[in-house]
Chains A and B, each alone.
Chain A
Amino acid sequence: KQEVTQIPAALSVPEGENLVLNCSFTDSAIYNLQWFRQDPGKGLTSLLLIQSSQREQTSGRLNASLDKSSGRSTLYIAASQPGDSATYLCAVRRGYSGGGADGLTFGKGTHLIIQP
């Protein structure tokens, strides 16, 4: 059974710093991996999606990497801002021959606070 772990559980850094969030998964047979942002009282917002054949994806100040063989992904946030404060979730989609299963397996998230 796939297990997704995110470290650290919480992180507080001053504004302007670059930071890295970590995600690990136990079963490397994944179809893709997504990073989401969750704000209090709101739904999840997809930030980046990496296909199993890709090594990284970038969107603005965000860069996500994937090392499928070692079961790891990182989310790099450059020049952090107070508006980046949120919980960041990593989720994997199981793969099988011919495609991917529908359901995502989520980590518990990293609660990020950017201090002004």
Chain B
Amino acid sequence: EPEVTQTPSHQVTQMGQEVILRCVPISNHLYFYWYRQILGQKVEFLVSFYNNEISEKSEIFDDQFSVERPDGSNFTLKIRSTKLEDSAMYFCASRGDRVNEKLFFGSGTQLSVL
């Protein structure tokens, strides 16, 4: 079965550093998402991306965050200047089209900000 791939699985960084989390969505999917889950908390929506632009973003997704689809396969989340509170599991997800709404998640990147 096709799957969403995320790299790296673990990322450790110093506070104030920039990080880029990478995702390869399922190849024929059109809608892409980033979610995060702080340890012990709910999964939270960050941003959705369709047709090469952000279609929706949450209050969490402030100016420190950006997303990009640099080529036909990758989808990235950049955090410009990481804070301690950015430590979380970050999940990428994708889905096909308006009819097929089942969401496929990657295994996540565990980001630790020290």
Q: Give residues in A with beta carbon < 8 Å to B.
A: 4, 32, 34, 36, 41-46, 49, 89, 91, 93, 99, 101-109
Contacts and interface: CB of A to CB of B under 8 A. Distances in A.
Contact of A34 (B31, B42, B103, B106): B103
Secondary structure at chain A's binding surface: helix, strand, loop or mixed?
A: strand
B43 interface: yes
Contacts of A106: 42-44
Nearest to A103: B45
A106 B45 CA distance: 9
Contacts of A43: 4, 91, 105-108
Secondary structure at chain B's binding surface: helix, strand, loop or mixed?
A: strand
Contact of A32 (B42, B45, B101, B108): B101
A45 B44 contact: no
B43 A44 contact: yes
Given A43-B105, A104-B103, 4 more contacts: A44-B103, A45-B105, A102-B31, A104-B35
A36 B55 CA distance: 23
Contacts of A99: 98
Contact of B101 (A4, A49, A107, A109): A49
A88 B63 CA distance: 32
A42 B9 CA distance: 10
| Among all A-B residue pairs, the 9 with the closest Cβ atoms | A103-B45, A102-B48, A43-B105, A102-B56, A106-B43, A44-B105, A43-B107, A106-B42, A46-B102
B107 A42 contact: yes
Contacts of B91: 43-44
A89 B43 contact: yes
Nearest to B4: A43
B104 interface: yes
Nearest to B40: A108
